[in-house]
């Protein structure tokens, strides 16, 4: 404070030559965190070489598959002869299986639209960006919410008798239930489940349901969409 | 490095005036010319000049995005070859399938490769999406590229679905009938959308022509544009997402 000359020197400096700036560093955007990320290597040749290897491995695998696995070709299309069951391509059989349980507006329009909208919009809400475990805070309250939501969802599914949705839902719900009671530093699978965030649980449940529905629609559905065993 | 006669010949070729006029550079021996190899090339400039070593590891991506794109390329090549033998007309489309089996050299193999590639692409795209999700790749600043990815996933499904009708056999006809009946369940515009898609109220020759144009022209072009944006945004958004926890920490320990 007593050194007056230094203080005045700051004022006297040329603003064009030595521009003065005030920098605000807010807690969430630390310049350092975004700066330090990993050692970098040249894309040419490191990345291009790997892409070329990926292409070759892929082409070899697909050529071998196509030598032995023939594309099906049935009779000429005939609008007067409906096969039973008439099935959509395999990636839509999950939807077709849903149509078996729910009205067309719900299974064919509402559910797919909601899934797409969730995929598009949820990233913009920055929910739990740090990926905190679901059971990390408000444990009892969250556990109650989890129980209520799971119970009402299962009740809804039971009313519609949607068994191929109920099975994977129950499986994931049991895992979530168990993970609530897992202790810190338990065995690895328990520790893994205990530290999962809510997004992991929702996505895993969605994948489990989608895969089950697709498998059931592809292999376990026969005439009149009745249950059949694929090995019979 | 350059020991074999092929290497020597290649190096001599890269020094020639013709090579330099095409690629705008000599051999890529320095980091400067290696950078030029990427951003001086209209196709490669969508990629970053440098990538993080961690992003190159197989476990970071399993190269699922690369496989999705490479399958798109493979399907474009095999698809164009199939177009040479195909007429989008009833019943000629079905007769062309018979010709592919019994007349065209390697016709069965060509059709098999296109079909296997299509199934593989649907699987690769979904697996890619789920893998990116579990790694948190949808978080800022990648949220828009995630949306582009969702659009690409839908385009992949539409591409596969429109291709499903083209053989014009019983399997194709009834799969499309079942699928498009779902659209008419939509209360307000359902019937109109279905009419627009099929060019009529039933799956017929108009539907075949429309699906052919969608499958071979419109959807591939739209997909190619979105793929370009998708690649370019990876670079602009600062490279692939690193897992917050161990990968970043592991790196800090290495330094």
Residue B218 corresponds to which tokens in the numbers above? 């419109």
Higher-confidence residue of A17 and B142: namely: B142
pLDDT confidence tier of residue A25, bands split at 50, 70 and 90: low
Say whether residue A57 is in contact with chain B using an 8 A CB cutoff: no
**Would an 8 Å CB–CB cutoff place A151 in contact with chain B?**
no
**Which of A31, A43, A197 is best to mutate for the B interface (most B CBs within 10 A)?**
A43
CB–CB of B123/A57 below 8 Å? no
Exposure of B43 in the CB half-sphere (CA atoms within 13 A): 3
B-chain residues within 8 Å CB-CB of A78? 170, 173
Nearest to A120 among B51, B150, B157 (CB): B150
Please state, rounded to an integer, the average pLDDT across all residues of chain B. Answer: 90
- ipTM surpasses 0.90: no
Cβ separation of A40 and B52 shorter than 8 Å?
yes
Mutate to test the interface with B, among A42, A83, A130 (most CBs of B within 10 A): A42
The answer to whether B64 and B120 have CB atoms below 8 angstroms apart is: no
Q: What is the pLDDT of residue A125?
A: 85
Question: Does the beta-carbon distance from B38 to A83 stay under 8 Å?
Answer: no
Which of B50, B122, B179 is the closest to A43 by Cβ?
B50
A84 and B CB contact within 8 Å: no
Question: Which pLDDT belongs to residue A20?
Answer: 62
pLDDT-derived band of residue B184, with 50, 70 and 90 as boundaries?
Answer: confident
Q: pTM of the predicted model, to two decimals?
A: 0.88
Which runs of E-coded beta strand occur in chain A? 40-42
Nearest to B244 among A116, A131, A199 (CB): A131
pLDDT of res. A28: 63
CA separation, residue B38 to residues A30, A107, B134 (Å) = 31, 47, 30
What digits encode the pLDDT tens for the residues A32-64? Answer: 545 556 788 999 889 999 999 999 999 999 999
Query: B169 has which bridge partners?
Result: A76
Which chain A residues in 203-222 lie under 8 Å from chain B, judged by CB atoms?
203, 207
Instruction: Work out the percent of chain B whose per-residue pLDDT is above 70.
Output: 95
SS3 state of residue B138: coil
Q: Which pLDDT band, with edges at 50, 70 and 90, does A18 fall under? A: low
Say if residue B151 is exposed, middle or buried (CB neighbours under 10 Å; 0-12, 13-18, 19+). Answer: middle
Residue spans of alpha helices (H) in A36-161: 43-68, 93-101, 104, 111-121, 139-159
Residues 6 or more apart from B82 whose CB is under 8 A from it?
B100, B110, B111, B114
Contacts A45 to B, Cβ<8 Å: 28, 34
| Nearest beta carbon to residue A65 from set B51, B116, B139 | B116
Query: How many Cβ pairs within 8 Å bridge chains A and B?
Result: 197
Q: What is the pLDDT of residue A8?
A: 47
Long-range contacts, stretch A47-56, CB < 8 angstroms, 24+ apart = A47/B47, A47/B51, A47/B56, A48/B44, A50/B56, A50/B63, A50/B66, A51/B63, A51/B66, A51/B70, A54/B63, A54/B66, A54/B67, A54/B70, A55/B70
Specify the pLDDT at position B254: 39
Which chain B residues touch A130 with a CB distance below 8 Å? Answer: 244
Q: Report residue A130's pLDDT band, with 50, 70 and 90 as the boundaries.
A: confident
Taking the domains of chain A in order of start, what are their residue ranges? 100-225
Task: Give the mean pLDDT of B144-172.
Answer: 96
pLDDT score for B247? 52
Q: Could you give all domains of chain B from N- to C-terminal order, each with its CATH number? A: 60-237 (1.20.810.10)
Cα–Cα dist B122/A210, whole Å:
14
B chain contacts of residue A35, beta-carbon cutoff 8 Å? none
Mean pLDDT for all residues in chain A:
86
Q: pLDDT for B215-251, tens place per residue?
A: 999 999 999 999 999 999 999 988 888 775 555 444 4
**A138: which 2 tokens?**
């408000």
**Per-residue pLDDT band at A26 (split at 50, 70, 90):** low
How many Å apart are CA A208 and CA A216, to the nearest integer? 12
Kindly tell me if the per-residue pLDDT of B57 is higher than 50.
yes
Whether A41 and B51 lie within 8 Å, measured CB to CB: yes
Task: Report CB contact under 8 Å: B174, A105.
Answer: no
pLDDT band at A97 (very low <50, low <70, confident <90, very high): very high
Minimum-distance CB partner of B168 among A77, A86, A119 = A77
- Indicate yes or no: CB of B150 within 8 angstroms of CB of A95: no
**Average pLDDT for A104-124:** 90
Residue A70's pLDDT band (cuts 50, 70, 90): very high
Taking every pair of Cα atoms in chain B, the longest distance, rounded to a whole number of angstroms, is 71
Residues from chain B contacting residue A48 (CB–CB below 8 Å): 44
Question: Mean pLDDT across the stretch A154-172?
Answer: 95
A42 forms beta bridges with: B50
pLDDT of residue B14: 87
Question: Cβ–Cβ of A87/B175 closer than 8 Å?
Answer: yes
Res. B38: pLDDT tops 60:
yes
Kindly give, in sequence order, each residue whose CB lies less than 8 Å from that of residue A205, ignoring residues fewer than 6 positions away. A168, A169, A172
Mean pLDDT of B160-179: 94
**Under an 8 A CB cutoff, do A99 and B133 touch?**
no
**Cα B133 from Cα B127, distance rounded (Å):** 10
Cβ of A37 within 8 Å of Cβ of B248? The answer is: yes
Give the pLDDT of residue B251. 44
Return the pLDDT at B253. Answer: 39
pLDDT-derived band of residue B55, with 50, 70 and 90 as boundaries?
Answer: confident
Q: Closest-CA residue in chain A for B48? A: A43
Nearest-angstrom CA–CA distance, A227 and B140: 45
Asked whether the beta carbons of residue A77 and residue B170 sit closer than 8 angstroms, the reply is: yes
pLDDT value of position A68: 94
Task: Please list every residue in chain A whose beta carbon sits closer than 8 Å to the beta carbon of residue B37.
Answer: 44
Measure Cα distances from A145 to A118, A141, A158, A184, A228 in Å.
Answer: 20, 6, 20, 22, 38
Nearest-Cα distance to chain A for B218, in Å, is 21
In the beta sheet, which residues pair with residue A76?
Answer: B169
- Residue B43's closest CA among B78, B73, B10, B74? B73
pLDDT band at B112 (very low <50, low <70, confident <90, very high): very high
* Model confidence at B29: pLDDT above 90: no
Mean pLDDT of A182-190: 87
Q: How confident is the model at residue B252 (pLDDT cuts 50, 70, 90)?
A: very low
CA distance A41 to B249: 19
Interchain proximity A86–B34, CB inside 8 Å:
no
CB contact under 8 A, B101 and A45: no
**CB–CB contact A88 B183 (8 Å):** no
Q: A207-211, B44-48, B186-190: which has the highest mean pLDDT?
A: A207-211
């Amino acid at each position: 404070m007593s050194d007056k000359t230094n203080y005045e020197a700051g004022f006297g400096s040329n603003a064009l030559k030595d521009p003065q700036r005030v920098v605000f560093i807010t807690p969430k955007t630390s310049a350092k965190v975004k700066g330090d990320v990993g050692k970098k290597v040249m894309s040419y040749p490191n990345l291009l070489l790997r892409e070329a290897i990926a292409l070759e491995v892929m082409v070899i695998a697909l050529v071998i598959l196509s030598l032995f696995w023939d594309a099906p070709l049935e009779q000429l299309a005939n609008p007067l002869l409906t096969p039973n069951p008439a099935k959509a391509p395999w990636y839509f059989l999950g939807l077709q299986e849903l149509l078996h349980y729910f009205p067309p507006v719900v299974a064919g329009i509402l559910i797919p639209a909601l899934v797409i909208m969730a995929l598009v919009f949820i990233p913009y809400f920055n929910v739990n960006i740090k990926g905190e475990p679901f059971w990390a805070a408000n444990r009892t309250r969250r556990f109650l919410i989890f129980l209520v939501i799971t119970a009402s969802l299962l009740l809804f599914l039971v009313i519609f008798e949607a068994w191929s949705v109920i099975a994977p839902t129950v499986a994931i719900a049991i895992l979530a239930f168990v993970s609530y009671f897992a202790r810190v530093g338990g065995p690895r699978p328990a520790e893994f489940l205990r530290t999962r965030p809510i997004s992991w649980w929702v996505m895993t449940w969605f994948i489990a349901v989608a895969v089950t529905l697709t498998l059931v629609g592809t292999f376990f559905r026969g005439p009149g969409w009745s249950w059949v065993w694929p090995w019979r | 490095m350059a020991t074999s006669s092929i290497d020597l010949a290649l190096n001599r070729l890269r020094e020639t005036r013709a090579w330099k006029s095409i690629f705008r550079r000599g051999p890529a021996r320095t980091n400067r010319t290696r950078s030029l190899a990427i951003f001086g090339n209209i196709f490669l400039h969508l990629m970053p000049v440098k990538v993080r070593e961690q992003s190159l590891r197989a476990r970071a991506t399993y190269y699922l995005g690369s496989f999705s794109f490479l399958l798109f390329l493979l399907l474009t090549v095999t698809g164009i070859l199939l177009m040479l033998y195909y007429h989008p007309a009833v019943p000629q489309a079905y007769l062309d399938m018979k010709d592919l089996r019994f007349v065209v050299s390697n016709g069965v193999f060509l059709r098999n490769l296109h079909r296997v590639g299509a199934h593989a692409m649907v699987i690769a795209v979904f697996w890619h999406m789920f893998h990116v999700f579990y790694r948190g790749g949808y978080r800022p600043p990648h949220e828009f590229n995630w949306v582009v990815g969702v659009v690409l996933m839908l385009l992949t499904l539409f591409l596969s679905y429109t291709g499903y009708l083209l053989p014009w056999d019983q399997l194709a006809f009834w799969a499309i009938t079942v699928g498009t009946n779902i659209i008419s369940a939509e209360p307000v515009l359902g019937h109109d959308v279905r009419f627009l898609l099929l060019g009529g109220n039933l799956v017929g020759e108009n539907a075949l022509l429309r699906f052919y144009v969608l499958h071979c022209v419109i959807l591939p072009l739209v997909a190619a544009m979105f793929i370009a944006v998708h690649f370019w945004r990876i670079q602009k958004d600062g490279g692939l997402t690193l897992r917050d926890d161990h990968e970043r920490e592991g790196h800090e320990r290495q330094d």
